[in-house]
């Protein structure tokens, strides 16, 4: 187990002795934010005199943006604006986790603060009661960057027995997955479920159903919880869309979408209309479906390993090789939702949900992109 971090080997019984100490009525609040990479999460903690009852009870804070690739040394203070509060599964009640937006010195949104734009879009289409569910795939690695439990100088058996598998030779890291699941439930994350994925050491959890801006809020905090659980176990969770080259599945963040009209009788008509609109803006969506303008997804969306080609838009019923999939049940019931299979595992859910909502519900028809 040389690939496990040294910190994870510290004496946890000693730690627990201190964690059990009373807090004297005080509350620890951990502020969480997205850093300048658009992928990484940062956090720091402060003391409040009493337990906050709502997000309005949590004060703004600040941090050094020059150390998170979000500002220059000469003007480095950035504002943390609390937007969503959860219970803390690591230090327990009454302590809180708080997701924050980041504002620059002039109180304009930081470059990686895509929540502001997403809020604007969701406010414009709120009468549609748009629901999202996102399937977050990830891969467990040792601190040496090698997939967790893979042979040090080789590869495991080919894909096939690992998806939803059980057994020590098929499920690598289940303890981490189950602890993360419980942490999400305790925190108040709308986690739907979890399963082992096609590549060994690859897993998935689903968040939803969430309405509007709630989707991004809950997925980002669920990611934070995963990183913290992995930290305790001494391993690393990566959202890289293609962590292993060759005939191994990549990692996506399939996004399920449903509006009020889609859920009503005859809703398949509105699903098909939305898919047609998405097809006309395929290139535009690819650019916002990973944090590098589509560069990350080039490695994943090859037309192989349950993906569609990044170069072409496609849709189909029960087709996991399509850009957009309609489930067999939805096709039979003629109402429900559709699944956009293009977003990468490291996507920003605010950018993805805003783009889908904008294209499907706000943009007028236009000619197909060249």
- Nearest Cα to Cα of residue 223 among 59, 347, 69, 87: 347
pLDDT of residue 370: 46
Eight-class DSSP state of 133: E
- Helices 349-357 + 214-233 axis angle, to 10: 160
Distance, CA of 141 to CA of 199 (rounded, Å): 13
116 falls within a domain = no
Residue 270 has pLDDT above 90, yes or no: yes
CA separation, residue 223 to residues 37, 190, 217, 248 (Å): 15, 12, 10, 23
The answer to whether residues 97 and 145 belong to one domain is: no
pLDDT of residue 363: 78
- Helices 214-233 + 174-187 axis angle, to 10: 140
Residue 248 has pLDDT above 80, yes or no: yes
328 falls within a domain = yes
The answer to whether 324 and 338 have CB atoms below 8 angstroms apart is yes
Domain boundary among 53, 84, 111: 111
Tokens read off for 22:
């009373």
Domain boundary among 87, 111, 135: 111
CA separation, residue 340 to residues 12, 82, 290 (Å): 42, 30, 14
The answer to whether residues 92 and 127 belong to one domain is: no
Residue 228 has pLDDT above 90, yes or no: yes
Residue 160 has pLDDT above 80, yes or no: yes
pLDDT of residue 367: 46
The answer to whether residues 243 and 322 belong to one domain is: yes
20 falls within a domain = yes
369 falls within a domain = no
Give 305-346 pLDDT, tens digit per residue. 999 999 999 999 999 999 999 999 999 999 999 999 999 999
Provide the whole-model pTM: 0.96
Would you place residue 2 in the very low, low, confident or very high pLDDT band (cuts 50, 70, 90)? low
Distance, CA of 139 to CA of 224 (rounded, Å): 15
1 falls within a domain = no
Give the rounded percent of residues in the chain with a pLDDT score beyond 90: 95
CATH number at residue 331: 3.30.590.10
The answer to whether residues 177 and 269 belong to one domain is: yes
CATH number at residue 41: 3.10.20.70
The tally of domains found in the chain comes to: 2
Distance, CA of 199 to CA of 11 (rounded, Å): 33
368 falls within a domain = no
Would you place residue 355 in the very low, low, confident or very high pLDDT band (cuts 50, 70, 90)? very high
The answer to whether residues 162 and 197 belong to one domain is: yes
Residue 70 has pLDDT above 80, yes or no: yes
The answer to whether residues 55 and 167 belong to one domain is: no
The answer to whether residues 260 and 186 belong to one domain is: yes
The answer to whether residues 38 and 157 belong to one domain is: no
Backbone Cα Rg of the chain = 21
367 falls within a domain = no
The answer to whether residues 60 and 128 belong to one domain is: no
The answer to whether residues 161 and 83 belong to one domain is: no
Domain boundary among 61, 77, 111: 111
48 falls within a domain = yes
Distance, CA of 62 to CA of 199 (rounded, Å): 40
- Nearest Cα to Cα of residue 307 among 288, 290, 320: 320
- Give the domain extent around 279: 121-362
The answer to whether residues 125 and 107 belong to one domain is: no
- Nearest Cα to Cα of residue 238 among 210, 199, 187: 199
The answer to whether residues 32 and 147 belong to one domain is: no
Helix, coil or strand: residue 238: strand
């Amino acid at each position: 187990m040389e690939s496990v971090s040294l910190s994870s080997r510290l004496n946890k019984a000693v730690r627990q002795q201190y964690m059990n100490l009373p807090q004297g009525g005080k509350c620890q609040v951990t502020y969480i934010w997205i850093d300048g990479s658009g992928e990484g999460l940062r956090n720091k903690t402060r003391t409040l005199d009493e337990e906050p009852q709502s997000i309005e009870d949590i004060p703004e804070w600040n941090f050094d943006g020059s150390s998170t690739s979000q500002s220059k040394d000469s003007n480095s203070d950035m504002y943390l604006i609390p937007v969503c509060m959860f219970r803390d599964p690591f230090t327990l009640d009454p302590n809180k986790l708080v997701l924050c937006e980041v504002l620059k010195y002039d109180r304009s949104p930081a470059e990686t603060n895509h929540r502001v734009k997403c809020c604007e879009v969701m406010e414009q289409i709120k009468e549609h009661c748009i629901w999202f569910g996102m399937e977050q795939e990830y891969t467990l690695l040792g601190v040496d960057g090698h997939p967790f439990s893979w042979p040090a100088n080789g590869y495991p058996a080919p894909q096939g027995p690992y998806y939803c598998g059980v057994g020590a030779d098929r499920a690598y890291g289940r303890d981490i997955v189950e602890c993360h699941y419980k942490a999400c439930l305790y925190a108040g994350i709308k986690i739907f479920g979890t399963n082992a994925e096609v590549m060994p050491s690859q897993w998935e959890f689903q968040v939803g159903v969430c309405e509007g801006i709630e989707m991004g809020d809950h997925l980002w905090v669920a990611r934070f919880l995963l990183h913290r659980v992995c930290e305790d176990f001494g391993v690393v969770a990566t959202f890289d869309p293609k962590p292993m080259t060759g005939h191994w599945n990549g990692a996506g963040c399939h996004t399920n979408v449903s509006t009020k009209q889609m859920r009503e009788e005859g809703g398949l008509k509105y699903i098909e209309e939305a898919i047609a609109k998405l097809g006309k803006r395929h290139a535009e969506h690819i650019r916002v479906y990973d944090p590098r303008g589509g560069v990350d997804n080039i490695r994943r969306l090859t037309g192989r390993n349950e993906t569609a080609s990044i170069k072409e838009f496609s849709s189909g019923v029960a087709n996991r090789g399509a850009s957009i999939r309609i489930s067999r049940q939805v096709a039979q019931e003629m109402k429900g939702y559709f699944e956009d299979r293009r977003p990468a595992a490291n996507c920003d859910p605010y950018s993805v949900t805003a783009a889908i909502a904008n294209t499907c519900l706000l943009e007028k028809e236009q000619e197909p992109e060249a």
